[in-house]
Every structure is written in structure tokens, then in C-alpha cells.
Structure 1
């Protein structure tokens, strides 16, 4: 199935017990993983950030994308809009692999 470039896909965040607690959308699994990572407890700097396993199942499939994610706070850019706080949460992820579920 061909996708147009602006098609959003939905990814369910899986907890350790297999329950799916949130849904993140994005064009790519990485984009959804970054959104999930931004919800982690932020560290004071990227170097001090705890790395956390993030598992996202693509809705409608048995494919689980596995990432290592971390978040940290940093100063907002000087040209930030008025509504943006002075400290913002940044995040990054590193893909660890893909697993296929037997059943959903």
C-alpha cells in the first residue's frame, strides 16, 4: 500500500505488561517515539538523562518498534515565541530494533 508523504500513522505505547496506554501519531515510528520520549521525566542536561526503553506498536500491525529514549531540559532559544517557557524539554531516541508480536 503506497502512502502519501503526509499520511500520519498511529503507534500505541506499550508498557512492560503489554498494555497499551497512549497513542502517538507521526509519519515515521521515530517521530512518534520522539513525542513519547518528550513525556519522560527530563534530566537537567542531556549527559545526565536516564535512558528508557520505549516500545511502540504500529496500529493495525503486529510490528513493535523498540527505541531507547531520553529527555532533558534546556534553555529556550532567544527568538522563542512569547508563549514558550524559558526552559523547554528536549528529547532524543535511538532505534534498538523491531519485534513481531504473535498476537495483539
Structure 2
């Protein structure tokens, strides 16, 4: 279901089928990036050795968006605010497919 501000809610589906967290965004990729930032982060982009499967079910539909995601740690940008930690977690995702849940 699309909210008034254009954002949609996506529920993280675990391997056992349990739905745990809700991420929102105008597009599924935005929600997948938010979910990927919660993955265990590699020390740097060059050290990323594996990708996790992220499955997001769009609320109100039978669509499950499947992504491969990975995360790493970087130094913060020079123009970042002072209150921000010196190291930040970055993430990237790659869409694999869309599945449909059978009722």
C-alpha cells in the first residue's frame, strides 16, 4: 500500500519465513539498502567476501523482492557533521528477482 507521501512499506522475510523488520522507501531498493546496512560489515569494500540474500515483502501485495546485499565500513566524508562517528557503514544491493507468494 502506498502512503500519502509516496513511500511503501517492505517487511524483511527471514529464511524460516518469519517477518521481522519493516523498512520504508519509495522504491524497493531504498528499503533493501536500509536492510543491508544492518548486515555484518566488512572492514573495507575490498574485504567484502560474501553477499547475503535480502528478501523484502511489499505490504499489501504478494510480491517478494529478492536482493543480494553487502556492507562495509568507511571513514566518514570530510563534509560530514562533527557529531557523526568517524567510521560509517556503507551498503550496496543487487536485485535478483521478484517472487510471488501463493495464497
Could you say which TM-score interval applies, normalised by the shorter chain?
Answer: over 0.9
Aligned residues: CA RMSD: 1.8
Q: How does 1:1-104 map to 2 (within 5 A)?
A: 6-49=5-48, 50-103=50-103
- Any idea what the Cα deviations from partners look like across 1:40-91, whole Å, max 9, x if unmatched? 1110112222210000000000100000000000000111101111000000
Q: After TM superposition, which residue ranges in structure 1, 4 or more long, deviate above 6 angstroms?
A: none
Q: Secondary structure at the match of 2:30?
A: helix
Structure 1 gaps, min length 5: none
Structure 2 gaps, min length 5: none
Instruction: Say whether the 8 Å CA contact 1:5–1:27 is kept in structure 2.
Output: no
Question: Number of residues paired by the alignment?
Answer: 102
Instruction: Say whether the 8 Å CA contact 1:53–1:66 is kept in structure 2.
Output: yes
